[in-house]
């Protein structure tokens, strides 16, 4: 009885301060219950000045919740320790999820100032929790008794994850070691923030301005109009501006006949963060990679890669390098064949130069036209962004029986954002999906998926997720809607796969989930397989003007060109993967010359001069962010997704039984059990590499 009363006191304490100091913050929406559909964020009410006081209060509240767990004198139980930890930080999470969403997709100077203030606060808060000896002792006690506690499989996994995470966060260090770790974590968090700020500034810069109409030779009308609109917005009348965002610079490289301008724009893109200016990232990269070694050594690991890969499917760097090298040789062979095709065109046209990286897109388009009678301008009219989104919805509906209902009554943080309610076929609510597809100055580059709220089911209270997809796709112009490239179509399908993973999540304890980085890309990458299937193209690829379904002739050309440029795409990706691994298998803390290190990394694998790595260190956001020693994950997961998709191809494209199993074992439960065990439950065996090699023409 005494234990129940103590636990009740903790619960009352925690729930009574979910909306603290409401009277003092009566105009701050974070201190109120959100009376919005499905308690979605009230973006119309949220102002920049609301974040800092809400974050500060959230940190105080989480500390009080953690203190309540620590000070509970009762014997540790799963409920009064692990479940209580799962419930802690709810208020802070609500604030930081919105704050993080905006700083990624719609930031400004004021939000960045707040990020600089709060980043060390968050680092300290994390360390205060993970380095607390009394809290760790409770977790350790439960861990050592786990086989006697009659836990469910998920509860046992969650407990093991908490224990492991505490150890990996420094819980076993001496007082001196903990203090060193705190300093490392704080410095790394601030350097990571500065890297991101610099990358945003460099990527949003105008890479090329044209004032002579003759220099627009070869460019499609849509690109010219878009460049004119951008120049006008930048107050450069009667000029044309091209940015370092992919929807701007890639088409320029594909079609511009001006080789000197292609070189200028390409170099501006590839050297982002490496211009010896106020946004230079060289010293940041060198320092972060050094600090990562220091942290790994402090925690008992030789390298940062050893620390990271311990929790991944690959397990160690030897396995990763072996895997990458097995793919590198056939990929390089295919890339050299592609070089020969393009050099032949250059020679036949009477030009006396060797193919360079800034020539690749231009001559690859010529090869595509020559070999397959196909170019991007023929396809874009059939890939209007709304139709592509409708297409991915249709695929999900046919696979999983779900439906999407546009909601105009849910507030958004930018007019470009569209919102949809996701329901089961019987109308049961699953979650909310936001899509935000177009570039803007306040948005970082690339594409990603995240959420304003995650799914959970503690105490039988099922919380539904609020998920968003963000992209930087081709924008609409004054007289045309947004028309996507094939690459952008694949990216839209990819990020939607991540969204489905979040929407279908069906676990009790989200904080205790641990999905390996090299497994988390399976749900996203498998969705790409449907994007260009003939049966699927006929569902959504409609001409934006006539509504005509994409003709069979074009579908056949797409099918025949599936292996086009696969050598290039694989090599540029693998080069970046090797670079990431090389940085993170260093075992000393020396700070290195970044440019020299890169040259050595690429020389070691024999990267050909015609291809540049997909990223250089100074703009390699994946490497500095959450994919350190893990960029290989995309191609590791490609083995999984190619093999998993074969389960459909071996039966039918929309086999509901296969889809149901994929949802049950992969999408709903990822992170709650061993990743390979989940895959085998779905597929009945371990994955085979054959399907990936065939798909990329590397067999």
State the pLDDT at residue 20: 59
Helix then strand then coil, in percent of the chain rounded to 5, is 60, 5, 35
- Beta-ladder partners of 456: 463
Neighbours of 498 (CB within 10 A): 22
Contacting residues for 221 by C-beta, under 8 A, at least 6 apart: none
DSSP code per residue over 271-290: TTT-SSSTT--HHHHHHHHH
Contacting residues for 577 by C-beta, under 8 A, at least 6 apart: 324, 631, 632, 635
Helix 566-584 and helix 282-298: axis angle, to 10°? 60
- Quick check: helix, strand or coil at residue 432? strand
State the pLDDT at residue 24: 60
Burial of 685 (0-12, 13-18, 19+ CB in 10 A): exposed
In angstroms, rounded to a whole number, what is the distance separating the alpha carbons of residues 450 and 472? 15
State the pLDDT at residue 594: 98
Neighbours of 651 (CB within 10 A): 11
Residues 179-200 pLDDT 10s? 999 999 999 999 999 999 999 9
Q: What is the DSSP letter of 414?
A: S
State the pLDDT at residue 693: 87
In angstroms, rounded to a whole number, what is the distance separating the alpha carbons of residues 120 and 633? 29
In angstroms, rounded to a whole number, what is the distance separating the alpha carbons of residues 127 and 10? 23
State the pLDDT at residue 477: 87
State the pLDDT at residue 21: 55
Neighbours of 650 (CB within 10 A): 9
Q: Is 406 part of the annotated catalytic residue set?
A: no
- Quick check: helix, strand or coil at residue 423? strand
In angstroms, rounded to a whole number, what is the distance separating the alpha carbons of residues 165 and 69? 18
Contact between 87 and 149 under an 8 Å Cβ cutoff? The reply is: no
Cα–Cα distance list, 280 to 208, 287, 379, 589 (Å): 19, 13, 38, 21
Contacting residues for 113 by C-beta, under 8 A, at least 6 apart: none
Q: What pTM value is reported for the model?
A: 0.93
Angle at 43 between CA 42 and CA 46, to 5 degrees: 90
Q: Of 86, 421, 495, 598, which residue is the catalytic one?
A: 495
CATH node for 2-172: 1.10.1370.40
Contact between 194 and 284 under an 8 Å Cβ cutoff? The reply is: yes
State the pLDDT at residue 698: 84
DSSP code per residue over 442-495: TS-SS-EEEEEE--B-GGG-PBPPEEEEE--PPPP-SSS--B--HHHHHHHHHH
State the pLDDT at residue 19: 52
CATH node for 290-374+566-624: 1.10.1370.10
Neighbours of 130 (CB within 10 A): 19
Cα–Cα distance list, 252 to 218, 261, 294, 389, 486 (Å): 9, 9, 43, 25, 16
Contact between 138 and 84 under an 8 Å Cβ cutoff? The reply is: no
- Which residues of the chain fall short of a pLDDT of 70? 1-24
State the pLDDT at residue 411: 98
State the pLDDT at residue 438: 96
Pairing of strands 466-470, 429-436: parallel
Cα–Cα distance list, 419 to 43, 411, 491, 498 (Å): 13, 8, 19, 16
In angstroms, rounded to a whole number, what is the distance separating the alpha carbons of residues 400 and 406? 18
What is the location of CATH 1.10.1370.40 in the chain?
Answer: 2-172, 381-560+633-695
The closest of 341, 380, 364, 352 to 262, measured between CA atoms, is: 364
Q: Which CATH architecture has domain 381-560+633-695?
A: Orthogonal Bundle (1.10)
Angle at 140 between CA 62 and CA 155, to 5 degrees: 75
Q: What is the DSSP letter of 245?
A: S
């Amino acid at each position: 009885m005494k234990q129940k009363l103590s636990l009740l006191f903790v619960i009352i304490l925690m729930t009574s301060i979910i909306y603290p100091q409401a009277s003092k913050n009566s105009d701050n929406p974070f201190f109120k219950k959100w009376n919005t559909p499905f308690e979605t964020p009230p973006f119309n009410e949220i102002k920049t000045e609301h974040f800092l006081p809400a974050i500060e209060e959230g940190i105080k509240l989480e500390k009080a919740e953690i203190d309540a767990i620590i000070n509970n004198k009762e014997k540790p139980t799963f409920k009064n320790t692990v479940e209580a930890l799962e419930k802690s930080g709810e208020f802070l999470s609500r604030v930081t999820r919105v704050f993080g969403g905006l700083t990624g997709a719609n930031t400004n100077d004021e939000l960045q100032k707040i990020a600089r203030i709060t980043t060390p606060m968050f680092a300290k808060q994390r360390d205060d929790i993970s380095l607390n000896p009394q809290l760790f002792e409770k977790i350790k006690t439960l861990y050592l008794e786990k086989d006697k506690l009659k836990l469910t499989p998920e509860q046992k996994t969650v407990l093991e994850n908490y224990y492991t995470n505490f150890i990996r966060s420094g819980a076993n260090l001496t007082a001196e070691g903990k203090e060193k770790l705190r300093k490392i974590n704080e410095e790394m968090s601030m350097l990571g923030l500065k890297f991101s700020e610099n990358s945003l500034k460099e990527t949003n810069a105008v890479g090329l301005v044209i004032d002579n109409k003759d220099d627009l030779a070869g460019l499609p009308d849509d690109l010219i109009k878009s460049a004119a609109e951008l120049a006008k917005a930048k107050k450069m009348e009667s000029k044309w501006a091209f940015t370092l965002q992919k929807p701007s610079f890639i088409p320029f490289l594909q079609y511009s006949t001006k080789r000197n301008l292609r070189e200028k724009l390409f170099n501006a893109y590839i050297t982002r963060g490496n211009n010896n200016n106020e946004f230079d990232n060289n010293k940041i990269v060198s320092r972060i990679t050094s600090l990562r070694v220091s942290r790994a050594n402090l925690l008992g690991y030789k390298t940062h890669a050893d620390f990271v890969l311990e929790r991944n499917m690959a397990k160690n760097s030897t396995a990763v390098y072996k895997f990458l090298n097995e793919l590198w040789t056939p990929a390089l062979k295919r890339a050299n064949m592609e070089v020969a095709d393009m050099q032949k065109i250059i020679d036949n046209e009477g030009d006396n130069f060797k193919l360079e990286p800034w020539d690749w897109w231009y001559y690859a388009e010529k090869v595509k036209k020559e070999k397959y009678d196909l170019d991007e301008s023929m396809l874009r009219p059939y890939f209007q962004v709304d139709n592509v989104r409708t297409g991915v919805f249709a695929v999900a509906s046919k696979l999983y029986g779900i439906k999407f209902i546009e909601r105009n009554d849910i507030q958004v943080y930018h007019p470009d954002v569209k919102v949809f309610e996701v329901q089961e076929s019987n109308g049961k609510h699953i979650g909310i999906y936001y899509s935000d597809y177009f570039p803007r100055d306040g948005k970082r580059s690339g594409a990603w998926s995240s959420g304003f709220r995650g799914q959970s089911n503690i105490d039988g209270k099922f919380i539904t997720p609020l998920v968003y997809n963000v992209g930087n796709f081709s924008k609409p112009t004054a007289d045309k809607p947004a028309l996507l490239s094939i690459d952008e179509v694949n990216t839209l399908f990819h990020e939607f796969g991540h969204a489905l993973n979040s929407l279908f999540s069906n676990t009790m304890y989200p904080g205790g989930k641990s999905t390996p980085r090299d497994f988390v890309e399976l749900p996203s990458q498998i969705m790409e397989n449907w994007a260009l299937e003939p049966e699927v193209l006929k569902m959504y690829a409609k001409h934006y003007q006539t509504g005509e379904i994409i003709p069979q002739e074009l579908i056949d050309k797409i099918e025949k060109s599936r292996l086009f440029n696969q050598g290039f795409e694989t090599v540029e990706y693998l080069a970046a993967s090797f670079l990431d691994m090389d940085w993170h298998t260093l075992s000393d803390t020396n700070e290195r010359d970044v440019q020299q290190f890169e040259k050595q990394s690429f020389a070691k694998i024999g990267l050909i001069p015609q291809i540049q790595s997909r990223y250089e260190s100074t703009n390699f956001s994946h490497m500095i962010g959450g994919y350190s020693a893990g960029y290989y994950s995309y191609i590791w997961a490609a083995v999984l997704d190619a093999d998993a998709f074969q389960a459909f191809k071996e039966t039918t494209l929309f086999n509901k039984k296969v889809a149901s199993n994929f949802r049950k074992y992969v999408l709903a439960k990822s992170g709650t059990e061993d990743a390979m065990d989940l895959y085998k439950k779905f597929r009945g065996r371990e994955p085979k590499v054959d399907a990936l090699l065939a798909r990329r023409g590397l067999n």
